[in-house]
Amino acid sequence: MTLSSGSLELNRQNTRTIDRTGGTFPHTSRVDPGHVTPARLPAHLREVSDVQAAPDGRIDCTQHVLRVLDWLGVYVLVPIGGDDTLSYAERLSVEHVAVVGIPKTMDNDVYGTDYCLGFSTAVTRSVQFIHQLRTSAGSHEPIAIIELFGRQSGETTLLAAYLAGADRALIPEVPFDHQRLPELLLRDQRNNPSNYAIVAIGEGAFPLGEVAVESGMEDAYGHRKLGRVGRLTGETLSQLTADVFEELEPEEQVEFLESRSNADAAAVLARMAPDDAVDLLSELDQQRRATVLDLVPQPHARKLPTLLQYHPATPAA
């Protein structure tokens, strides 16, 4: 038997190096056999009698799966996976198939288990990535937002953030206050001698009063794609930072601008009226002023150099 024919007999030769790489050895289909859409039903199953229509229009192929297991002589099934894989394994158990489930998921969120295979790797790689990011963060002085795995469980994000020394962690179990977050991150940034901050966000995290950010069509298990919460949090952070800036006194605005990275300073100036932006620019030293000006987007990029040339605080040529 071969993998191309739908099954593969395992032996010492073809499993000798199976533990050296990640991923799934027999590949994956992302299909729930108990809940198949008509469009995804294989052609050879459309005329057989052991598939059943469900009330929602989907098709239950479980009886066919049981028949195939019997034909293969499989009397004990050892599924390895997360909630979705093991939920269908539980269905087969109800149908009197002997099942030994092995939890394997980066989220470590299989109910009734303390530890899932793959969780340690996910945390280790996340910690490595956060550490590697510090070199760039220390140079450019940003508030770095790192989005990690975790649909409903934030354990991967929480442990990775703790072990890597991130400043904040946002997880699905605890909705965050998007109004207070900028204040905390700006304080973290100011308290760091290298003037940057790092926040790790689980992909299922969401602000108070809102829901997780989802996109795309549902998969076979009813899940839509999670993600983009990191980017949306970054956009919100930029806007709220600008709002905080506008409430400061002129002297505090200068101090605030001097504490920001060049890119952040340019972004703040781009939101201001040109005359006000020039007043602040004139307070920066000449080298920093030129660098920030180069990063200011249009249309301010055309106006500010001319206004700055005639500003009273600008030294005469």
How many whole angstroms separate alpha carbon 167 and alpha carbon 181? 11
Query: Is 107 assigned a catalytic role?
Result: yes
How many whole angstroms separate alpha carbon 262 and alpha carbon 245? 15
The DSSP 8-state label assigned to residue 117 in this structure reads: B
Q: Which of 107, 109, 264, 279 is catalytic?
A: 107
Q: Are 199 and 168 in contact (CB under 8 A)?
A: yes
For 54, half-sphere exposure in the C-beta direction (CA atoms, 13 angstrom radius) is 13
Q: Are 103 and 110 in contact (CB under 8 A)?
A: yes
* Amino acid found at 69: L
How many whole angstroms separate alpha carbon 315 and alpha carbon 23? 62
Is cis: bond before 299, omega within 30 of 0?
yes
Of 83, 87, 77, nearest to 107 by C-alpha is 83
Of 208, 238, 212, 245, nearest to 227 by C-alpha is 212
Kind of pairing, strands 59-60 and 52-53? Answer: antiparallel
Report CA-CA distances (Å) from 204 to 45, 172, 213, 280: 36, 5, 7, 39
How many whole angstroms separate alpha carbon 31 and alpha carbon 272? 52
- Name the residues annotated as catalytic: 107
